[in-house]
């Protein structure tokens, strides 16, 4: 999971992008127009419209602006009142109309691409605000904006300055909490109650137990007095909101499904994906079966004669030395060196990511990364890993800590060459908009894609044990994909999803519960596999005329140069055609060739046959 505000639900996304400068090799379609303003009459007007949108977005969504590094918005929270949310909706519609006023005849090809990118961002925001219904039901809608992480963990300013911003944030919390409580109208799905209780209660606990220690060294009596008052009030407000959610348990429902029509609208509005749901489901099922077959083959080599569960248990029993946090720190060194040795992708800078234990209020998923915004300079990114819930039975706590092979691909996903590397590239885009807005399927699809790509490139010898680590991560995302579709369009229950995570993704009970619950409040978590399948098909099509596998680095560098648009839109840019959705599917095993064809040249074989191992 990311702590990035992608174009999705705020619980899964908190604005966090790393600082950077212009790239040395810009993508023409994605970059700003470099012709003189006089040569393109609409150029200056178009650029002004985009700048105006960004300025307005910071005002309407100030937490997003602060996370991006616009610290004049520090301490501010959005207006969560019903009237405030409606004003945001109206403003976004006005912006959409203004963007649409730039017809094709007024813009060059690069600007038309930019217009479509901006419009896609607006459409995604409007879906969550206007059509999802989440503002009145789903605590996840608010959780990201309530996170104080940037003030506590990001050294963008001296501690006293960040403490002052944090105090302002806390002083604004009681009003925001009152607005949220007025919006959230029961009865709630059971999983929403659990999420709200955990997140809001976790913040209260964090304020009480941890925050005072962080600011204890600040020698400013007046500020400390303000903090004491704001911390008590903020903690009480969050605890009251958590208790309010917990009090709804007796009326809990299972009414979380978006329904097929709204789910399809979500995919179109947020990711530009317009395939029929039956095709989407079939592609997910095929990829699940592909990975299950590969797992069986790897286990036959690694633990011959054992069941798949016993095989995976044997792999996961090989725990990282010193625990998951220490293990990940060691893995990042080797992962980066592997990228360099294999020359798989350009690393545009010397930045490194830290690894830390996740704070108590943000442990609803095992791992995520926070990356400073593009307006920040020279700040660290932090890869957070959550410990098991201490309330779980000891056996479940032990099982929650992944084995070394599993953790290796989590580290690849989050840092090298996943999210962290992707944002090193995004933040060197010539177009500020592309630095700021990175889509869910683009970011998570890339990070998930890199796991299989790294194994195919020979990571750690590509042994059966390493393959099992990669496949268990892939199967987790396969089941997320199918759970999202099933939970929201097919009548799947949370219990059925949880069982599928156990049976098909081989998850321990704690993870299975978390993952099934997440599917109810984060219906877009199918984007990991959805994005990966779109990227794999795009790689196959792009490299087909550029040298095949030898062109992977060129593909990766060009893909990463665009910032983070919807992948169908990016596909049109990279291939010189229309925006369209295409999902990769593994080629079916070829039937035995007739004798007459035995000497057919290699070029007669399907191009995809050698694309994946």
Residues contacting residue 427 through CB under 8 Å, at least 6 positions apart: 17, 18, 19, 20, 374, 435
**pTM of the prediction?**
0.89
Q: For 392-420, what is the mean pLDDT? A: 94
Asked whether residue 106 is assigned to any structural domain, the reply reads yes
Q: Kindly state the DSSP code that residue 210 receives in the 8-state scheme.
A: T
Q: What is the 3-state secondary structure (H, E, C) of 149-208?
A: HHHHHCCCCCHHHHHHHHHHHHHHHHHHHHHHHHHCCCCCEHHHHHHHHHHHHHHHHHHH
Question: In the structure, what pLDDT confidence band is assigned to residue 343 with cuts at 50, 70 and 90?
Answer: very high
Q: CA 43, CA 166: separation in Å to the nearest integer?
A: 40
- Looking at 115, 132, 149, the residue that finishes a domain is 132
Q: Is residue 306 included in any domain, yes or no?
A: yes
Q: What is the pLDDT of residue 30?
A: 40
Is 183 inside any structural domain?
Answer: no
Task: Tell me, yes or no, whether 422 lies in a domain.
Answer: yes
**Is residue 467 in some structural domain?**
yes
Q: Which domain holds residue 563?
A: 274-320+334-345+405-575
Question: Of 87, 117, 132, at which residue does a domain stop?
Answer: 132
Residue 399 has a pLDDT of 85
Tokens 């056996």 belong to residue: 395
Please report whether residue 20 resides in a domain. Answer: no
For the cut 90, the answer to whether the pLDDT of residue 11 exceeds it is no
Residue 608 within a domain? no
Mean model confidence pLDDT for the chain:
89
Counting the structural domains of the chain, the total is: 2
The tens digit of pLDDT for each residue in 64-96 reads 999 999 999 999 999 999 999 999 999 999 999
Q: Check residue 61 and give its pLDDT.
A: 98
For 281-318, write each residue's pLDDT tens digit: 999 999 999 999 999 999 999 999 999 999 999 999 99
For 278, counting Cβ atoms within 10 Å of its Cβ (0-12 exposed, 13-18 middle, 19+ buried), the class is: exposed
- 52's tokens: 């105006």
On whether residue 506 sits in a domain, the answer given is yes
Q: Which of 147-156, 230-239, 418-427 has the lowest mean pLDDT?
A: 147-156
Kindly report which listed range (124-128, 327-331, 385-389) carries the lowest average pLDDT score.
385-389
Q: Which of 132, 163, 194 is the last residue of a domain?
A: 132
pLDDT in tens, 260-291: 999 999 999 999 999 999 999 999 999 999 99
């Amino acid at each position: 999971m990311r702590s990035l505000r992608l174009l999705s639900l705020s619980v899964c996304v908190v604005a966090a992008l790393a600082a950077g400068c212009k790239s040395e090799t810009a993508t023409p379609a994605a970059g700003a127009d470099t012709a003189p303003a006089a040569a393109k009459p609409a150029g200056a007007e178009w650029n002004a419209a985009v700048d105006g949108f960004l300025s307005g977005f910071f005002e309407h969504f100030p937490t997003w602006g602060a996370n991006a590094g616009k610290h004049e918005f520090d301490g501010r929270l959005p207006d969560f009142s019903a009237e405030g949310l409606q004003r945001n909706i109206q403003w976004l519609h006005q912006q959409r109309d203004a963007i649409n006023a730039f017809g094709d005849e007024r813009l060059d090809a690069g600007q038309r691409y930019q217009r479509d990118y901006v419009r896609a961002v607006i459409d995604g925001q409007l879906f969550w605000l206007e059509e999802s219904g989440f503002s009145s039901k789903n605590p996840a809608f608010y959780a990201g904006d309530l996170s104080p992480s940037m003030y506590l963990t990001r050294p963008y300013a001296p501690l006293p300055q960040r403490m002052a911003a944090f105090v302002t944030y806390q002083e604004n919390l009681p009003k925001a909490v009152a607005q949220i409580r007025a919006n959230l109208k029961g009865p709630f799905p059971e999983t929403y109650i659990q999420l709200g209780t955990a997140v809001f209660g976790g913040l209260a606990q964090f304020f009480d137990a941890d925050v005072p220690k962080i600011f204890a060294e600040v020698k400013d009596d007046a500020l400390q007095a303000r903090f004491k008052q704001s911390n008590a009030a903020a903690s009480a407000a969050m605890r009251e909101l958590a208790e309010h959610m917990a009090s709804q348990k007796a009326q809990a429902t299972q009414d979380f499904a978006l329904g097929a029509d709204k789910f399809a609208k979500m995919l179109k509005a947020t990711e530009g994906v317009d395939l029929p749901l039956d095709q989407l489901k079939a592609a997910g099922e095929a990829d699940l079966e592909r990975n299950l077959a590969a797992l069986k083959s790897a286990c036959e080599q690694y633990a011959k004669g054992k069941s798949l569960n016993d095989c995976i248990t044997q792999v996961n029993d090989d725990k990282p030395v010193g625990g998951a946090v220490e293990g990940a720190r060691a893995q990042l060194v080797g992962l980066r060196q592997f990228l360099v040795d294999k020359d798989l992708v350009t690393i545009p800078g010397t930045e490194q990511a830290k690894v830390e234990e996740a704070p108590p209020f943000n442990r609803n998923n095992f791992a995520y990364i926070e990356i400073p915004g593009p307006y920040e300079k020279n700040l660290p990114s932090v890869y957070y890993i959550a410990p098991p819930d201490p309330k779980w039975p000891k056996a479940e706590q032990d099982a929650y800590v992944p084995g070394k092979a599993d953790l290796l691909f989590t580290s690849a996903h989050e840092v090298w060459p996943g999210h962290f590397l992707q944002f090193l590239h995004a933040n060197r885009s010539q177009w500020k908009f592309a630095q700021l807005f990175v889509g869910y399927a683009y970011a998570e699809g890339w990070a998930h894609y890199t796991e299989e790509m790294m194994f195919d490139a020979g990571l750690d010898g590509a042994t059966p044990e390493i393959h099992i680590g990669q496949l268990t991560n892939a199967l987790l995302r396969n089941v997320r994909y199918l759970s999202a579709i099933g939970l929201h369009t097919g009548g799947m229950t949370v219990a059925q999803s949880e069982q599928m995570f156990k049976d098909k993704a081989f998850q321990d009970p704690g993870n299975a519960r978390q993952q099934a619950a997440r599917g109810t409040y984060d219906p877009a978590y199918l984007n990991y596999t959805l994005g990966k399948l779109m990227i794999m098909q795009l790689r196959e099509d792009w490299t087909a005329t550029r040298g095949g596998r030898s062109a992977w680095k060129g593909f990766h560098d060009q893909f990463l140069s665009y910032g983070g648009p919807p992948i169908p839109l990016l596909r049109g840019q990279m291939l010189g055609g229309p925006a369209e959705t295409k999902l990769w599917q593994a080629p079916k095993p070829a039937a035995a060739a007739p004798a007459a064809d035995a000497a057919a040249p290699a070029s007669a074989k399907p191009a995809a046959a050698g694309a994946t191992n």
